Structure formats: C-alpha cells, structure tokens
Structure 1
Amino acid sequence: MVHDKTAYIVGAYEHPTRKAPDKSVVQLHAECAAGALADAGLTKDDVDGYFCAGEEPGLGPLTMIDCLNLRVRHCDFTDIGGSAPLQHISHAAQAIAAGKCTVALVSLAGRPRSGWVDRQPDVTQPDLMWEMPIRKKIMDIYAMCARRHMHEYGTTSEQLAWIKVAASHHAQHNPFAMLPKVVTVQDVLASPIVSEPLHRLDCCVTSDGGGAILVTRPEIAKSLKRPRVKVIGAGEGFQGQSAGEVDLTGSAARQSGMVAFAEAGVTASDISYASIYDSFTITVLIALEDLGFCQKGQGGRFVADGNLISGVGRLPFNTDGGGLCNNHPATRGGITKVIEAVRQLRGEANPAVQVRDCSLALAHGTGWLMGTRHSSATLIMERE
C-alpha cells in the first residue's frame, strides 16, 4: 500500500539499445541509472534506496550496489517476473512513506538477445517435475489461454490482431522500435502460426537494454525542475493453478487492479492512457478485461477496430510500441510500461501519439506465465 500518497516519480529513462553485444548487464544498469538521474536532476549520492530483479550477476542488489558505487540504507530484490519493476515502485513508495529511504532507484537491464544466460532448471522444483516431460514452452501456454478464450467467449484471431496493429501504429513514431513498420490485421493473420492460434506477429520481440525509474518524497519532487508524476494507487496479485482448477482466461490483474483502483479512488473509465504488458496479444486482452476496462469476455470487441490507437480509439495503449513492436528488455517488459506512462503524463511522448490532456495513467505488468503461476502489479499515476 502507498501510504498517504507521498511517492513521486521524478526520473525515467529507457535505454536506446536493442542489441548490446559490447555491454555487460552491469553496464546497462549503470547507463540506465545515469539516464534516470540526469532526467531528474539528481546524482547517485542522492540515492539511498535501490531495487532490482532480473539478470543481475552475483548476489543481485549487493553486486549492483557495489558496482554502481551507491550508499543505500534500503534495498529490495523481490523477483516476481516481468511485473517486478512495478512492484518495486510500489515497495519504494512504501519504504519512502515509512522513512526507510528518500530517493529510490529502480533499475532493470538484460541482454538476452546478445547472449542468453543458460540457467539449468532444478528438476526437483514442484512445477518442473510435472511440466518438463511435456516440454512446455511459453508460447504454448499463452496459446492455450487464447484458444480457451475463443472457446468460451467467441474471441477471434482478427480481434487479437488489432492489438498488434495498434502497437505498430505507435511504433512507427519511435526511432528505437525494433519493428517500426505499420501492419494490418491481414498481415498478422498471414504471419506463420507459432502455436495455434497465435501467429508470429502475436508475439513480443526479444531485446537487450533496460530502464530505470527514480521515486522520491514530495518535498524533493517539488524542488526539482521536472513535471511531477504522483503514484496514487498500487496493487499486487498472484495466481496459481489452484490444485488443478486452472483458470486459462483470467489473471491476477483482477486482484492487483482492484486494489490499485480502490487506493487511487478512481475507476477504469477515468484512465486517459494505459500501458499494458504485452508478451502476447492475448496477454493484453485478458488484462484489459480483468482490470475492468470492459466486461469479461468482451475484450475482443473492446480492442477491435483501432480502439487502442492513440487519437483514434477510446483507450490509447503502449504508445511506444510496447513489447510487441518496441522492446522487451531482459524478457521483463514491466519497467518500460511505467516509463511510457510517465512520458504521457509529462506530455513528453512523441507528438504523434501524445494523449491530449493526459492526467491519469495506468501501468500494468504480468510476471511469468498466465495460465499457470503468475503475478500482476498495477500502478495508477497522475499528473500534478
């Protein structure tokens, strides 16, 4: 819970690289941190809290604190997958409200595109004992979610394709996007099937890079010469397989969204812009339903016909191109969702996709796999 709504995001930086064979993970973290500090007008000596989770070497935050030469009195390495950076912002806000730190740095970096870290799985892990023999793949799990949603609610591949189409319309204006070409519904459907019913263009990219966020107290935020973005709601959610009662069409966003909206005192209809984790098109559709932007089963109709395109639809989403077109650093795209939401609230998004009078934004992350065990984290931010 964010106590007394005292947390402000004052710095945000997205690393411009999408392939970094000449950089280490630590160097990417350092460059992201430097970028966020420069954006805020602060220095590393102002940082007294540090949060990270991902591909960090050694002992995670201990290694990073040392390598970044930080002097901190609070840190957190909670790892819940791709939603961890959003959870870290929430935890940083809690720590700031409790007086544990005053300026918190949240960073994420990785280089899976240049050199995947091959961590051998622990075959005694409860889930892996049963799932490894069937050679489970990430895309297969999400394909099952998509197929079940189609079966229960009549969702179509054409409707899912509109999510990719919207992302591509935004990515064309991002000079760093990996896939800047605008595509049509027909292009998505004509791309090869990777796991039925998902096509290649229903899947996110894989990139190197990262990003960083700075969170601080109101008096520090007000002393800086940057537009102020206040965190007014934060929620977390967790969903497993319920001893076999697997829910393929629902997600932990039902929990995280409910908490975040209640804390912020707003509803989904109040949101001007949404950053939604988009590992696959079906990830977006299910999250939008569970966050309350539309009724359960109506996600296909909600995303169709350009409804997610800035300047066209009623809910602009992922105006940087998202994971589907822009980047997916360290295979954990949560932090970039917050960065683009901050840009929108500051009025600093690309003019072609900037939402007019953007005052309330939502960022949502999904960690690990919908359809099995996964986490959700939701942030609601406002321009002050």
Structure 2
Amino acid sequence: MNNTALTSLRGSAAIAGVATFGCGEAPGFTDMELLARSARAAVADAGLKMSDIDGLCTASGAATMWAMPVVEHLGLNPRYIDSTMIGGSSFIAHLLPAMLALQAGVCNAVLVCYGSAQRTATFGRREVVASRRFLDPQPYEMPYEPMLPLSAYALATSRHMNQYGTTRRDLAEVAVAARAWAQLNPEAFMRDPLSIDDVLAARMVSDPLSVRDCCLVTDGGGAYVLVRADRARDLPKKPVYVLGNATAVWNRQISSMHDLTVTAASQSGREAYAMAGLQAKDIDVVQLYDAFTINTLLFLEDLGFCAKGEAGAFVQGGAIAPGGRLPVNTNGGGLSCVHPGMYGIFALIEAVRQLRGECGERQVNGATTAIAHGNGGTLSSQSTAVLGTADAL
C-alpha cells in the first residue's frame, strides 16, 4: 500500500469501547470465559450490542483455530474475521486490516478480544510450554532446549550492556518505574513497594535478568471495539482515533536477528509515525510491551524517544516513572500490572483510557496523543499504533 493510501486511513477509524476482566488472578475461569467477559464489557462500553458486531479479530497462543470457537461462544456472525497470530503484538497488528475492512464497508463494528487463564488454569505451565513448542517449532534453537523466551531476552540484554555500557541499575529503573505506576492503579496485580536495591538483589533467573526484570504471569481478558470515525462521534464514549499503525517482522528466532540491539520496532514505528504525520516528540503517553526490562529500553530507542544505546541514561532518576519527563507504561505494564501470556491488547487499552481521561490517580493531564507498541515472540514481531483524541486529528 502506498503512502497516500495509508495517509487516507489516518483517523478514519476510532476505538469506541474498551474493557478488561479478571486481571491478576481469576480462579475458575477459562481462557474463553475471560475473553467473553471482557468482550461483552467492551461492547457495552461502546454503547453497542453484541448483535452490532460484524467483525472479529482474535488470537490465542494455545489454539490454531481460535476464531471459530470465539464466534460460537459469543454468538457472532462476522463478515470480517482476522485470526492472525504473531504473538503479543497481534492485537495491535489487527488494527490496520480492520481499518481497511471498515473503510471498504465490509463491516461496521470490529471486536478485538483476548483471554488467558495462564496463572490459575488447571493445566500446568509445563504443558503450556510444551504445547507452544509443538505449535511453534524453532529448528535451530529448540533442540538445545533453551529457557525461552527468557534466555533470548537475556541474550539481547547482555549484548546491549556490552555494546553500550547499559547496567543492571538501568534495567532496575524500568522495573521500579513500572511498579510506581502500578501503585496508582487499583487493577494492577503487584503494588508492593519496589526499590532499585530490591531489583538488584532479586533472584537471578537468566543472567543478567533477575526475577524482577521479568513480566508477571497472570490471568486476564481484554477487548476493544473499532468503528468508523463518523459513527464513533455518535457513541457515548470519547472517541480515540487511530492515526497510524504499522507492523514489521524481521525474524522469528533470536538467533536470526542481525543485530540484537535493534528490533523491527524501528521500522513499525517509522511507518506508523509517517501515517500519523507525527514524531516521537509529539507523543504524550507511551505504552510499551515490557515482557522484560530490556524491552522498554530497546523500544524507547527504536521508536525514537532517545538515540540507540542511550536508553539506559534516558530512564535514570525516575524519568519514565510518575512525575518524570515521559510517562511510560502508566498502568504498571507487564512487569507489575498484568501479563496473561500476551500483553499487547492491554497496552492499547491503557493508551485509550489515558486519552479518554479515565485513569484517576495515574492520569496524565492533557494527553492528546499516545503510542501503544506490541512485541511478539523473542523480539520477533513488532506493531506500533499511534492514537489521538479529536484535538490530534
């Protein structure tokens, strides 16, 4: 698609409803039940009925035909279906195809939804890992049985430290900032105090990453509803417009990355900014997929908030924490709020809530633009969404 066509999509669709359900621990709920609860709540938040939904985007890490039972469970008859599965970035990557479907008149209201009972499910985490290895074999790495995805991110962390002098203290700044935001969010799963020294003293799990450098394992469901901009203006909630969206994939396995310190976010971000007609300096709120502390540093660099190799210095002194110069992961992120297997949809939901002004104690005053950035696999798929209020159109 050429740049003119992409520019014509800018602001053509808006997110009209969002919801989460069961974030943290939701014993007794299945993946489908968590998805359904959040989906129904998001549709209601948009001022619509489930019968109004004629488009569906969904994905699961544990099923290859997930869209079909979702259609069945929710009682939908969608004219547009996208079940593309590229890991945790899927639900942000779903935006652009859905916008095209809306613009073409294929459908009128698209539901994007996800649910996972990863924390409290009766089957164990070993079974989850085994099923993912079966569904997603990696021929050059799996024979050696690495501790994936953790050790892949540890490899990227080690390289960034070696190449740019990044320290474990820099990584700890990311974890502490996320926890400080989580303490302002009643929905966050981990809200206990966390200091730099706590992170540095935490149990090492894959050198140089400690347990506090790693995301949570939680339950949770999340959903949002996308409609054409003209319709969004007539619905009850303040529309949040999609100004830009792009997805890039350069590799699947970490061993296939050309440079462990540069991700495909450098491409998805550049293309999303171009579609939006904005730059990093124009963004008020940043929601990044922080499966590990290194993710936040890499994406701050690749999305243009600082130069390559400078993210460690950029985050020092609480710069991305409440009261800092750049609000990052204001819900607490995957490190302290919620991470049920795939986090991308929750980053986008938080961006929408911030732009709506619904975040209470953690609200970033006057925010009119936001980025929600998703990551999938082992720094494999990257998807960037630039969102804005009517003031940013």
TM normalised by structure 2 equals 0.92
2:308 corresponds to 1:296: yes
How far apart are the structure 1 equivalents of 2:141 and 2:242?
A: 40
Structure-2 change in CA distance of 1:269 and 1:58 (3 Å)? closer
State the secondary structure of the residue aligned to 1:364. strand
Partner of 1:254: 266
Partner of 1:187: 198
Q: How many residues align?
A: 378
Structure-2 change in CA distance of 1:34 and 1:95 (3 Å)? same
Q: How does 1:5-20 map to 2 (within 5 A)?
A: 5=10, 6-20=12-26
How far apart are the structure 1 equivalents of 2:297 and 2:173?
A: 10
Q: CA RMSD in A?
A: 1.9
Structure-2 change in CA distance of 1:171 and 1:247 (3 Å)? same
How far apart are the structure 1 equivalents of 2:286 and 2:106?
A: 30
CA shift at 1:78, angstroms? 0.3
CA shift at 1:37, angstroms? 1.1
Which AA in structure 2 matches 1:304? Answer: Q
**Cα distance per residue 1:229-275 (max 9 Å; x no partner):** 10000011112269956321111101100100000000000000000
Partner of 2:9: 4
Partner of 1:154: 165
2:103 corresponds to 1:97: yes
Partner of 2:373: 364
CA shift at 1:304, angstroms? 1.1
Q: Is the 8 A contact 2:22 2:34 kept in 1?
A: no
Q: How does 1:299-338 map to 2 (within 5 A)?
A: 299-310=311-322, 312-329=323-340, 331-338=341-348
**Cα distance per residue 1:9-65 (max 9 Å; x no partner):** 000101144222311222111101111011111100110000000157573111111
Specify which of 374, 382, 389 is matched with residue 376 of structure 1: 382
Structure-2 change in CA distance of 1:348 and 1:242 (3 Å)? closer
Partner of 2:49: 43
How far apart are the structure 1 equivalents of 2:136 and 2:343?
A: 25
How far apart are the structure 2 equivalents of 1:9 and 1:21?
A: 30
Partner of 1:225: 236
Percent of aligned positions that are identical: 39
2:112 corresponds to 1:106: yes
**Cα distance per residue 1:281-334 (max 9 Å; x no partner):** 001100110011100000101111111013x212101111110001102x1000
Which stretch of structure 1 is more off in the superposition, 130-139 or 230-239? Answer: 130-139
How far apart are the structure 1 equivalents of 2:320 and 2:142?
A: 35
How far apart are the structure 2 equivalents of 1:38 and 1:381?
A: 21
Specify which of 46, 65, 69 is matched with residue 71 of structure 2: 65
Q: Is the 8 A contact 1:362 1:379 kept in 2?
A: yes
Q: How does 1:109-258 map to 2 (within 5 A)?
A: 109-115=115-121, 116=125, 118=128, 119-120=130-131, 127-128=138-139, 130-240=141-251, 246-258=258-270
Specify which of 75, 81, 90 is matched with residue 75 of structure 1: 81
TM normalised by structure 1 equals 0.94
Q: Is the 8 A contact 2:246 2:268 kept in 1?
A: yes
Which stretch of structure 1 is more off in the superposition, 61-70 or 48-57? Answer: 48-57
Structure-2 change in CA distance of 1:184 and 1:99 (3 Å)? same
Q: How does 1:343-362 map to 2 (within 5 A)?
A: 343-350=353-360, 352-362=361-371
Which stretch of structure 1 is more off in the superposition, 10-19 or 120-129? Answer: 120-129
Q: Is the 8 A contact 2:22 2:219 kept in 1?
A: no
How far apart are the structure 2 equivalents of 1:259 and 1:132?
A: 36
Which stretch of structure 1 is more off in the superposition, 131-140 or 284-293? Answer: 131-140
Structure-2 change in CA distance of 1:17 and 1:290 (3 Å)? closer
Q: Is the 8 A contact 1:48 1:71 kept in 2?
A: yes
Specify which of 279, 283, 289 is matched with residue 277 of structure 1: 289
Q: Is the 8 A contact 2:376 2:382 kept in 1?
A: yes
Q: Is the 8 A contact 2:154 2:207 kept in 1?
A: yes
